[in-house]
């Protein structure tokens, strides 16, 4: 049965709307990219619109097992124990990191803290008092 002019007109209109949607989606994608670029430029100058996007560096700070070796070597050389801050400084110096970089210091402190929690669960270290108001950790024998 031949296609009626109504069906043909509807199909034509449907195709026209599909093309328009694809065109609008491309325009939206371009506009979002432009907006992101402008927001990044504003962020450089300290201006934020809305919530700034948080970026996480995916690069690992330490190779597999490297932090553990640094921490355990530090404990061997410190019979009186070490604080998390001291261990962070030792780890950063071992890697040649800038101790004045506050964001990096916080990331390394977080990594050291996670490592210490694991070592404590495995009973490789123990809390051993407080020094100047800070928890001191010692290696178990």
57-88 pLDDT tens trace: 556 888 888 999 999 999 998 888 999 999 99
- Looking at the predicted structure, is the pLDDT value of residue 54 above 80? no
* Cβ-contact 91, 112 below 8 angstroms: yes
**What pLDDT was estimated at residue 87?**
93
User: Under DSSP, is residue 7 helix (H, G, I), strand (E, B) or coil?
Assistant: helix
Tokens of 93: 């110096």
3-class SS of residue 65: coil
Asked whether residue 85 falls in the same domain as residue 132, the answer is: yes
Parent domain of 32: 1-55
DSSP state of 99: T
* Residue 60 included in any domain: no
CA 72 to the chain's CA centroid? 26
Q: Place 34 in a pLDDT band, splitting at 50, 70 and 90.
A: confident
Is 115 part of a structural domain of the chain? yes
Q: Are residues 73 and 14 in the same domain?
A: no
Same domain, 118 and 80: yes
């Amino acid at each position: 049965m031949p296609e009626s002019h109504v069906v043909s007109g509807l199909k034509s209109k449907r195709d026209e709307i599909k093309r328009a949607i694809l065109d609008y989606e491309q325009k939206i994608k371009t506009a979002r990219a432009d907006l992101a670029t402008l927001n990044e430029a504003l962020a450089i100058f300290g201006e934020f619109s809305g919530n700034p996007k948080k970026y996480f560096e995916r690069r690992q700070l330490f190779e597999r097992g490297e932090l553990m070796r640094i921490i355990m070597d530090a404990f061997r050389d410190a019979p009186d124990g070490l604080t998390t801050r001291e261990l962070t400084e030792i780890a950063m110096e071992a890697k040649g990191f800038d101790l004045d970089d506050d964001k990096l210091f916080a990331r390394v402190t977080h990594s050291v803290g996670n490592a210490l929690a694991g070592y404590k669960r495995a009973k490789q270290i123990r809390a051993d008092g407080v020094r100047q108001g800070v928890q001191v950790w010692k290696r178990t024998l």
